[in-house]
Amino acid sequence: MRIWGPDGVLQVDENSFTIRVVLSTLVTFTGGKSNQDFSIPGVGPANGSAIVVPVGTYTDQQQQFETELVDNVARVYNHTRGYAASYVATGTMRLIVMRFN
């Protein structure tokens, strides 16, 4: 896509840095250490980013989910991966995956 400004000067073209949301969905965990995978073809750590955002009300005792982006998959954990004694998070958060170039 190419976008020109009101003065006729090219503002955005196919070489411009852009970010686009490719997935926005709610993720719910009810207990026990686990993870959920979301298929996102063409997105990976080289060209994307994944975050989770709490939704609704939550207490100071609740923990944040953790994300991992691997080729073609966004993975959400309800615990800190790689740390055996981590707390388990429950509740619902919004997963947002963005692709950039």
- Model confidence over 58-101: pLDDT tens digits? 777 678 899 999 999 999 999 988 877 778 888 999 999 999 97
Does pLDDT of 43 surpass 90?
yes
The pLDDT score that the predictor gives to residue 57 is: 78
Select from 71, 87, 73 the least CA-distant residue to 32: 87
Residues 29 and 69 sit within 8 Å (Cβ to Cβ): no
Residues 67 and 18 sit within 8 Å (Cβ to Cβ): no
Query: In angstroms, how far is CA 25 from the centroid of its own chain?
Result: 9
For the chain, percent of residues with pLDDT exceeding 90:
62
Integer Cα distance of 17 and 99 in angstroms = 11
Integer Cα distance of 19 and 35 in angstroms = 26
What is the model's pTM? Answer: 0.81
Average pLDDT for residues 38-48, to the nearest whole number? 96
Integer Cα distance of 38 and 48 in angstroms = 14
Neighbours of 54 (CB within 10 A): 14
**Mean of the per-residue pLDDT values of the chain:** 90
